[in-house]
C-alpha cells in the first residue's frame, strides 16, 4: 500500500502488521482447534483471550473510537488502513483489538448518547473487553431495511419500561459473554412523525423474559467466532426507565449516527478481505499446474488478478475519501460517498472472492481455506447495514434533487 499517512498512523500500521504476522495468523488454526474442544462452540477459545491481552499490552486496543477519552483518538482517515489490515482475518483480528462489531457501534452509541450511569455500568467493561454486547434491531415479521417498520414495543410503566418483541440475526447474542442488548423499538407508535416513534433501551441479557431462542445460520455458517446471529424474544421484559438511551423518540437519530461509522468500518475491513483473496490467488496460481503450464501463465487467471488489483485500488481511494470527508464535513456532508462505498465495496469484494474460490476449485468451497467463509461474510454485508437497494435509492434521490 503506497498511500502516505501521517507518522502516527504509519507507526500503528507497522506495529499492527507485525502483530498480525506474529500472533493473529498463527492463531487462526489454533482457535478452530480449541473451539472444537470447548463445551459449547459459543464459548471463547483461550487463544482469543491471549490475543486480546497481547493487543492491549501493545497499545493496539479500541483503535476505532475517535474520542481520546475512551479510545485511541484516531480520525476515520487514520483508522481506515488499520481496519483494512484487520479485515485480512475478520473472524479473529477485530476481536483481538476490541474493534469488532457490534460492540464497536454499541460503544459509540454509549460514548455519545449514554448517561454517566450507563457508561459506568456498560461502556467501561466493554472498553476493557470484559463483556460483549448485541444490537437488537432486525425483525423477521417486517421489512427491517425500513426502520420505521420496527414493531417491538417499549412501553412506559411507572418508573420502568416494558419491552415486547421478536428480533433475529442479532449478532453476538449467542456468546455467553454478551451481557447487554441495545434494543430498538417503538415508545410512541402513534406519533405523526414516524422518525420520532422509536427509542433505544439497554436490556441486560439476564433480565427475566429475555429468551435467546436459537442461532440463525448465514449461508450454513453459524459464525461462532462472532458470537452467532440469534433469534431473540423479549416477553414482558421490564427494565428501569434509566436504561433508556437519550430521550424518547431519539432512536432513529441514534441509529443513523451509529450506522455512519459502522458502514465505513465494514468497507475498510472488506478491502483487507479482498487483499487476502488476491494474495491467496497469487499463491495458488504459482503453485498449481493445469493443462501443461502453471495457472499463473493462464490468461484468464492473469485477468482475474489484474482486475482484482485495479478494483481494490479504486475502492481504497473511495473509502479513504469518504473517511476524510467524515472527518472534515461530518456524516451528512459525506452522505453521497458513504452510500457509494456501501454499494460498491461489498459487491466488488464478493466478485473478487468468487474468482478466488474458482481458482481454488473444490478447495475454495471447503473448510480448508478461508475463502468460502470470507465470501459468506462479504455477501452478507450487502444486507447487514441495509440492502444495496436502500443505499441506491438514497443516493439517487440526492442526485436527482440537484435538478429539481
Q: Do the Cβ atoms of 151 and 141 come closer than 8 Å?
A: yes
Same fold, 7-114 and 252-401: no
CATH superfamily of 252-401: Butyryl-CoA Dehydrogenase, subunit A, domain 3 (1.20.140.10)
CATH tag, 7-114? 1.10.540.10
For residue range 335-359, what is the model confidence (pLDDT) as tens digits?
Answer: 999 999 999 999 999 999 999 999 9
Least confident of 39-48, 60-69, 130-139, 156-165: 60-69
Q: Do the Cβ atoms of 133 and 123 come closer than 8 Å?
A: no
Instruction: Read off the pLDDT band of 74 (50, 70, 90).
Output: very high
Q: Do the Cβ atoms of 329 and 296 come closer than 8 Å?
A: no
Per-residue CA distances from 115 to 66, 118, 120, 122, 335 (Å): 19, 5, 9, 10, 28
CATH class of 132-245: mainly beta
Distance CA 167, CA 304 (A): 40
Task: Take residue 400 and report the three cell numbers written for it.
Answer: 436527482
Distance CA 24, CA 26 (A): 6
For residue range 223-255, what is the model confidence (pLDDT) as tens digits?
Answer: 999 899 999 999 999 999 999 999 999 999 998
Q: What percentage of the chain has pLDDT greater than the value 90?
A: 91
Instruction: Note the pTM of the prediction, 2 decimals.
Output: 0.94
For residue range 288-332, what is the model confidence (pLDDT) as tens digits?
Answer: 999 999 999 999 999 999 999 999 999 999 999 999 999 999 988
Looking at residues 127-149, what average pLDDT do you find? 95
Give the start-to-end residue ranges of the domains of the chain. 7-114, 132-245, 252-401
Mean pLDDT over the full length of the chain: 95
* Rg of the Cα atoms in the chain: 21
Cβ of 6: how many Cβ atoms within 10 Å? 10
- pLDDT number for residue 316: 97
Q: Do the Cβ atoms of 288 and 237 come closer than 8 Å?
A: no
Q: Is 197 helix (H, G, I), strand (E, B) or coil?
A: coil
Amino acid at each position: 500500500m503506497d498511500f502516505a499517512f501521517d507518522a502516527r498512523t504509519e507507526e500503528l500500521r507497522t506495529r499492527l502488521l507485525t502483530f498480525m504476522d506474529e500472533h493473529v495468523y498463527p492463531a487462526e488454526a489454533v482457535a478452530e482447534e480449541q473451539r472444537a474442544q470447548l463445551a459449547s462452540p459459543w464459548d471463547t477459545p483461550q487463544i482469543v483471550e491471549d490475543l486480546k491481552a497481547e493487543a492491549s499490552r501493545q497499545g493496539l486496543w479500541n483503535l476505532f473510537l475517535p474520542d481520546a477519552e475512551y479510545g485511541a483518538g484516531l480520525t476515520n482517515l487514520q483508522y481506515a488502513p488499520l481496519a483494512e489490515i484487520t479485515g485480512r482475518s475478520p473472524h479473529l483480528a477485530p476481536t483481538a483489538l476490541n474493534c469488532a462489531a457490534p460492540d464497536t457501534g454499541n460503544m459509540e452509541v454509549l460514548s455519545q448518547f449514554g448517561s454517566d450511569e450507563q457508561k459506568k455500568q456498560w461502556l467501561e467493561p466493554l472498553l476493557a473487553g470484559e463483556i460483549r454486547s448485541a444490537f437488537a434491531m432486525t425483525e423477521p415479521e417486517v421489512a427491517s431495511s425500513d426502520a420505521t417498520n420496527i414493531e417491538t414495543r417499549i412501553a412506559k410503566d411507572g418508573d420502568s419500561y416494558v419491552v415486547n418483541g421478536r428480533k433475529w440475526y442479532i449478532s453476538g447474542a449467542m456468546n455467553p459473554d454478551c451481557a447487554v442488548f441495545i434494543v430498538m423499538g417503538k415508545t410512541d407508535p402513534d406519533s405523526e412523525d414516524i422518525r420520532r416513534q422509536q427509542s433505544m433501551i439497554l436490556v441486560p441479557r439476564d433480565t427475566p423474559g429475555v429468551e435467546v431462542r436459537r442461532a440463525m445460520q448465514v449461508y450454513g455458517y453459524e459464525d461462532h467466532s462472532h458470537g452467532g446471529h440469534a433469534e431473540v424474544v423479549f416477553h414482558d421484559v421490564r427494565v428501569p426507565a434509566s436504561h433508556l438511551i437519550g430521550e424518547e423518540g431519539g432512536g432513529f437519530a441514534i441509529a443513523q449516527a451509529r450506522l455512519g461509522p459502522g458502514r465505513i468500518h465494514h468497507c475498510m475491513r472488506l478491502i483487507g478481505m479482498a487483499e487476502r483473496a488476491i494474495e491467496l490467488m497469487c499463491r495458488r496460481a504459482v503453485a498449481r499446474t493445469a493443462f501443461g503450464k502453471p495457472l499463473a501463465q493462464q490468461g484468464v487467471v492473469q485477468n482475474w488478478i489484474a482486475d482484482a488489483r485495479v478494483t481494490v485500488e479504486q475502492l481504497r481511494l473511495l473509502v479513504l475519501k469518504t473517511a476524510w470527508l467524515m472527518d472534515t464535513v461530518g456524516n451528512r456532508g459525506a452522505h453521497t460517498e458513504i452510500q457509494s462505498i456501501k454499494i460498491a465495496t461489498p459487491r466488488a469484494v464478493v466478485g473478487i472472492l468468487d474468482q478466488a474460490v474458482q481458482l481454488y476449485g473444490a478447495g475454495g468451497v471447503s473448510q480448508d481455506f478461508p475463502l468460502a467463509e470470507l465470501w459468506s461474510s462479504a455477501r452478507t454485508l450487502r444486507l447487514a447495514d441495509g440492502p444495496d437497494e436502500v443505499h441506491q435509492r438514497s443516493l439517487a434521490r440526492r442526485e436527482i434533487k440537484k435538478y429539481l
